[in-house]
Amino acid sequence: MSENAYLVIKDLVVAPSSDPSKHILQGISLTVKPGEVHAIMGPNGSGKTTLSYALMGHPSYQIVSGSVTWKGENLLDYSADQRARLGLFLAFQYPTSIPGLSVASFLRTAMNARRSGLVRDPEFDPSDPVKGGMTMGEFRKLVIEKLTQLKVDEAFMTRYVNDGFSGGEKKRLEMLQMALLKPEMAILDETDSGLDIDALRIVAEGVNTMLSPELGVLVITHYQRLLDYLKPQFVHVLARGRIVVSGGPDLAHRLEREGYAPILAENGINPTADEAATPTAAPAPSA
Ligand SMILES: Nc1ncnc2c1ncn2[C@@H]1O[C@H](COP(=O)(O)OP(=O)(O)OP(=O)(O)O)[C@@H](O)[C@H]1O
Ligand SMILES: [Mg+2]
């Protein structure tokens, strides 16, 4: 398969825009092909969210050096919204609330933008059924199908985006967006955090139904329990801004048993107390 078909990250060095000398990511190289699921695990503060933001074009982060290509094009040339139109998707670790904007309007606008793609076709207007767009009825039908799958109440649609949402509701809205936007490359940043065991199963099964030979996935997690559902073929351990070791599913099982300390030590990193204390086993379900 040619590089023109997937995501290629080479020697990526990233710093906060506010402090370009602080290299949070210190040379990340990673390739995600369609149909592949890659897990990124790593201690708190290792740079996982920074990687997801850098890939998505978050303005708070600056690319110091290295490259990212998506289907052969320089992804770094594009703004965050253009990257989304190109088929990239990020499910946030901490979704933001947008009081005043209803979930329904938000989703419809986002879907229309995604369906328009990057280059405007004057013959196609996703908001106009006469020009190939979705009717309100079609939109509703699609949304209700996905709401049902994610076991979310329809009343969700009239609420403001993430405003007063529980942690679990926020994560479900992220998955609802993914289901509707149909990305080709999805980054899930701790989509499992803060979910009870039932919510985790619903969300994980939701993601599972979206997996396809066309979709590349980068799933950031601390816990094996999400990986039980998503079954990544590749697992990478990120520490101090570098991928220190990559392997298969066994690597995640090992982290769950042993924590980060032994694997970091084996790779020449003397773990700090915080790194050694980052939990890798999810707390037992309370019910
Ligand atoms: N905008 C920023 N300005 C300054 N420092 C930052 C910024 N963003 C992240 N950092 C720092 O970079 C490091 C990596 O942060 P990041 O959020 O990427 O970690 P993470 O691996 O996602 O951690 P967690 O598992 O807790 O979510 C941390 O030390 C963090 O404080
Ligand atoms: Mg994070």
Nearest CA residue ID for atom 9, ligand 1 = 50
pLDDT at 287: 47
Q: Average pLDDT, stretch 265-275?
A: 93
**pLDDT band of 44, cuts 50, 70, 90:** very high
Q: Considering the chain, what percentage of its residues have pLDDT values greater than 90? A: 80
The string of DSSP letters for 165-189 reads --HHHHHHHHHHHHHHH--SEEEEE
The pLDDT value given to residue 285: 55
pLDDT score for 128: 85
Residue 60 pLDDT > 70: yes
How many angstroms is it from 13 CA to the middle of ligand 1?
A: 14
- For residue 42, give the ligand nearest its CA: 1
Mind listing the pLDDT tens digit for each residue in 187-224? Answer: 999 999 888 888 899 999 999 999 999 999 999 999 99
Q: What is the pLDDT of residue 284?
A: 60
**Ligand 1 atom closest to residue 238's alpha carbon, by position in its atom list:** 21
The structural domains of the chain, ordered by start, are 3-277 (3.40.50.300)
The percentage of residues in the chain with a pLDDT greater than 70, rounded to a whole number, is: 98
Dmax over Cα atoms in the chain, in whole Å? 63
Residue with tokens 């998505």: 56
Q: Name the pLDDT band for 47 (thresholds 50, 70, 90).
A: very high
Q: 218 φ, ψ to 5°? A: -120, 110
Which of 46, 226, 242 to mutate to test ligand 1, by most ligand atoms within 8 A of the CB atom? 46
Query: Distance, CA 63 to ligand 1 centroid (Å)?
Result: 15
**Rg of the chain taking only CA atoms, in angstroms:** 19
Residue 45 CB–ligand 1 contact under 6 Å: yes
Phi, psi torsion values for 65, nearest 5 degrees: -160, 170
Q: What is the pLDDT of residues 130-181, one digit of tens each?
A: 888 888 899 999 999 999 988 888 999 999 999 999 988 999 999 999 999 9
Residue 202 Cα to ligand 2 midpoint, Å, equals 22
Tokens 């329990």 sit on residue: 225
pTM: 0.95
pLDDT of residue 51: 98
Question: Closest ligand 1 atom to the C-alpha of 47?
Answer: 18
**Across 86-114, average pLDDT:** 95
Q: Quick check: CB of 241 below 6 Å from ligand 1?
A: no
Which of 235, 272, 254 has the alpha carbon at shortest distance from 39?
235
How far is 12 from 239, CA to CA, in rounded Å? Answer: 14
The token duo for 254 is 């090992």
pLDDT for residue 71: 96
Measured by CA distance, the residue closest to atom 30 of ligand 1 is 45
